[in-house]
Amino acid sequence: MSGPACFAGASLAFSLVTAYGYFGTVFQPGLAAVLLLAVLALTAAGVGRVLIGLLNLSGVSDSEKTLLGATLGLGGLSLLTFALAAAGMLNATVLTVAVALLWLVSYAELRAVFASFEAPWSLLRERPAPVLAVAGALLAVLWTCLVPPHQYDTLVYHLPLPAAYLRQGSLAPVPHLLFSHFPQNAEMLFTLALALKSELLAQMFSWLALALTVGWVFEMGRRSAPLPAVLLGCVLLSTHTAVMLLAGTTYNEPFVMLWLTAAVLSFYRWRETAPEQGGRRGWLIVSGLFLGLALGAKYYAGIAAGILGAELVLRWAAGGPQGRRARGSELLLLVGVTTAVFSPWLIKNAFCVGNPLFPFFYSLFPGGAGGWQGEAARGYFHVMTEYKLGGGFLSALARLPFQLLGNSLRFGGGMDALGSLGWDLSFWCLPLGLWAAWGNRFLRSLAVFCLLYTALWFSTGVVLRFLTVLAPLLCLLAGVGLHALWARLPAAGRGALAAAVAVLTACHLALFLYVHGVFGSGAALLGLETPEQFLAKRLDYYACARWARESLGKNDRLLLVGEQRGYYVEQAHVATTVNAPNAYLSWSQEAAGPAAYAARLKAEGLTHILLVPRELARIRPAMKPWDDRGFQNLMGLEPGYIEPLFKGPACAVYSLK
């Protein structure tokens, strides 16, 4: 190596060491999480490439094979964690050994994985502006993953369930969390992250799902659309506010978005492949694998499965007597593969709660093991439809475009607002995308799929966050439409169109920053405050949870009164819930007085009470009926039956005497 080259390499090493000296201590947890993510992503890609190789897919480039492999391998890590949990072998040691074995399996493919990264570098040289725009947006989202988990549902069940599974060493249901019986492919990845001692890694898994989704839009889109249009679609997706916000959290949507996008694009890739071409059926198998993974992350993925299945049924019906056997086998193949991948959650729920599709069909399967009554199930589904427009179906449908374009926040209160921002450009360009895509069979199929999916989404419950799974396809169609319009405009029109897209994209990025400003993320991201300081400002109960972590024993069991977000309580605990009966409230109603109530709490194995008065006052109206007798029994525990141990600014911890 020449002297100048040696100095250049030494300069790079010096710069990295210097940067670590300035910021390494502050960002060490984030750096460790990034390294873990890189190792797991490479492992997933390598193992996935091995599996994809068995299918002998037709016409697959090396970069596509890595993309397919990583997407499938991510699902494989989820199912592996589920299998270990179901077998009662869930702990950090076993998971680490399992990942190490997968690394060995993937090792032979790693050289090919790294070689496939040449494609993005080549694209960067050819089209630097859109590639840098996508990379910049993705890096911004990755940076926000360094903020400690604090979103409401994250702390109610997305992370508490994995933490409880690790404490128990198994998939045993958590009594106060009815979400224990929902499909949890995403939560299994979060479990893996927590087993590796990194909750930031759990959020980075969501970021990885977004990055892979952008890859799917690019790789599959450029086969049927001009490259500038596809790159524009990738820019629109990576700067979509709702997508950016959700990809920095531990919500399910990024994973459903990834696996459904992969399933739909693989399905139509199968349909576009000539029947005589070898490996064609492999694309249908891949589509079924991804559909099963998506269903295992969230039930509403069944909408996509229904649409694709219905298309196969129509193909079978229109095929004539001679072609029906072959087309019937295609339908059975898709249904069989999808069901097989989704079946672990069906089987688990059948055993644990008596209803494989819990909480659906609660009138047929009462699901008493999970504490659900018919009233509670009805209440849950009522919450899911609280954003409906009201009135007649046709009038509501007619008002939908105006509401989506001008008032999208009405489709997401509270933390659901994360999924309600940044839709304006993709919805505005939908007619344009339909016009531009209609002459291309592949793109036309995607457009029809989006219309059908939106119609079914509208019919079942208007929660805009649940439509995030369509964002990749809508952004691709928008890019195609904008590109086609650009080609037909004079210079002045092009300037206006470019300015419009730039203004809306800037608004999306500003909204992204605004939300993180509301969260107070800036100081945490810049290292100006510790995670503990950030969480203490965000959560009333955090000071007490931290004290309990440092002062109480691992075998203690806490009752959280007034707080649903129990994640930061490391000991076993029972949290308050508004979605199911609270046993401690029933005990307070039944007790003859505070003494009997205290005895009942101790008999149930509880050792301490963590009280959060302000949050209790906020959620009390949504809790099950609780009259003055029960309330007085709870409040009457002090001073005779409980002893104060710690009082924070907005919470307190008591021990049962």
Rounded Cα distance between 642 and 68, Å, is: 57
Q: Which of 588, 592, 589, 628 is closest to 606 using CA atoms?
A: 588
Backbone dihedral angles phi then psi of residue 141, each to the nearest 5 degrees: -65, -40
Instruction: Read off the pLDDT band of 126 (50, 70, 90).
Output: confident
Work out the percent of the chain whose per-residue pLDDT is above 70.
94
Residues 581, 376 contacting (CB under 8 angstroms): yes
| Residues constituting the chain | 657
Looking at per-residue pLDDT, the higher value among 434 and 180 belongs to 434
| Per-residue model confidence (pLDDT) at position 363 | 67
Q: Which of 602, 214, 175 is closest to 372 using CA atoms?
A: 175
Residues 62, 112 contacting (CB under 8 angstroms): yes
Residue 376: C-alpha distances to residues 252, 366, 386, 579 (Å): 23, 11, 15, 7
| Per-residue model confidence (pLDDT) at position 480 | 97
Q: Which of 107-116, 319-328, 429-438, 648-657 has the lowest mean pLDDT?
A: 319-328
Rounded Cα distance between 504 and 492, Å, is: 19
Does the structure show a pLDDT above 70 at 383?
Answer: no
| Per-residue model confidence (pLDDT) at position 370 | 46
Q: How big, in percent rounded to 5, are the helix, strand and coil portions of the chain?
A: 70, 5, 25
Does the structure show a pLDDT above 80 at 149?
Answer: yes
> Taking the CA atoms of the chain, what radius of gyration do you get in angstroms?
26
Residue 327: C-alpha distances to residues 320, 323, 331 (Å): 10, 6, 6
Backbone dihedral angles phi then psi of residue 653, each to the nearest 5 degrees: -120, 130
| Per-residue model confidence (pLDDT) at position 499 | 96
Q: Which of 141, 184, 138 is closest to 161 using CA atoms?
A: 184
Q: Which of 93-97, 203-207, 375-379, 469-473 has the lowest mean pLDDT?
A: 375-379
**12-26, 359-373, 615-629, 638-652, range with greatest mean pLDDT:** 638-652
| Cis upstream peptide for 639 (omega within 30°) | yes
Residues 472, 237 contacting (CB under 8 angstroms): yes
Give the DSSP letter of residue 573.
E
Does the structure show a pLDDT above 70 at 117?
Answer: yes
What pTM does this model have? 0.94
In the chain, the amino acid numbered 387 is: Y
Instruction: Read off the pLDDT band of 366 (50, 70, 90).
Output: low
CB neighbour list of residue 447: distance below 8 Å, 6 or more residues apart? 433, 434, 437, 438, 477
| Per-residue model confidence (pLDDT) at position 577 | 87
Mean pLDDT of 348-367: 77
Does the structure show a pLDDT above 60 at 453?
Answer: yes
Rounded Cα distance between 407 and 60, Å, is: 42
| Per-residue model confidence (pLDDT) at position 8 | 84
| Per-residue model confidence (pLDDT) at position 379 | 60
Mean pLDDT of 563-589: 89
Residue 405: C-alpha distances to residues 233, 243, 402, 454 (Å): 19, 17, 5, 15
User: What confidence tens digit (pLDDT) does each residue in 282-303 have?
Assistant: 999 999 999 999 999 999 999 9
Place of tokens 């128990």: 168
For 487, what's the count of Cα atoms within 13 Å in the CB-facing half-sphere?
Answer: 9
Give the DSSP letter of residue 610.
E
